[in-house]
Structure 1
Amino acid sequence: MRDAEEFDAFYAASAGNVVGHVYALTGSRSEAEDAVAEAFMRAWQRWPAVRDADSPEAWVRRVASRIAVSSWRKTVNRLRAHRREAVDQPVPGLSEDHVALLQALRHLHPHQRRAVVLHHLNDLTVAEVAAEMNTPVGTVKSYLVRGRRTMAALLAPTDLPQEEKNHA
């Protein structure tokens, strides 16, 4: 019974963070929730090993990310096979800033996107991002610099009056 209570506490403390991470990666709340549910199910099945991992939340986040990417790849392949184009469906209740952020994230290389999401949205240190991505710290720093530069260009205001542009 101790395992179930411990897992329930772990789930309650980390599920929201993991869903937010996968949502930022995929741009789809429902896909994120599905991937995270599957990841937590796998974590429960392996709870003794997951509990002893350096970071059980990182384990679940990594599994959920892989599930989401796998699901995305299957979807893309299915769409290509049927020669249909995906239709973006609006998500109610999102602010313009939130939508702009998600669109900018989609323009990043997947490694850059993952590093930016882990570092800026999940508040992991560069070293923690490097460990989770199994990548050298210097490479993560490069992903972050390039990702931020790309996003800054995509998110820069373009409708400033000429007078404000001259002072910017």
Structure 2
Amino acid sequence: MTEEEFDAFYAAAFPRLTGQLYAFTGDLGEAQDVVQEAFVRAWDRRRKLVADEAPEAWVRTVAMRLAVSRWRRAKRWLELMRGTPPPEPAPGPGPERTALVAALRLLPEPQRRAIVLHHLCDFSVEQVASETGAPVGTIKVRLSRGRAALAKHLTVDEAEEPAWREGGRVG
């Protein structure tokens, strides 16, 4: 089968085979995928297809087998997933993390961004400046003021124990 003959065969048979596989699978996208894959495999053996005298039947058989194989793989995957217990829920943030986030929200955005980039993302002062487009000196001021503000928000008066300390001093 020449390339031109194969192209004509493909143009004539693809819609028909897709319709047949759609009826078989119930999924048009899946039908198109398996028929396309079957034609790719047919291309590799196009010279032998002429000798078979039933190239469309060969492509249909390959497409059906591909569809069944995909269905079996999906079924096995579902069985495995059903047999696997769901993962344990991840614990939420601790009280210290919650207090830090609440305190960060009280800072002006430029200070908060500088603090987060420098202390939580481990950026150098120069990297923070590059990221924000601010001069290095400005970043140093934002970090200094931000740390001072955080210290005020996170400092606890010993007379009033916060709920996150869970009943006592952290020693």
Q: Give TM class, smaller chain.
A: 0.3 to 0.5
Higher-Rg structure is: 2
Where relative contact order (Cα < 8 A, 6+ residues apart) is larger, the structure is 1
| TM-score with structure 2 setting the length | 0.47
| TM-score with structure 1 setting the length | 0.48
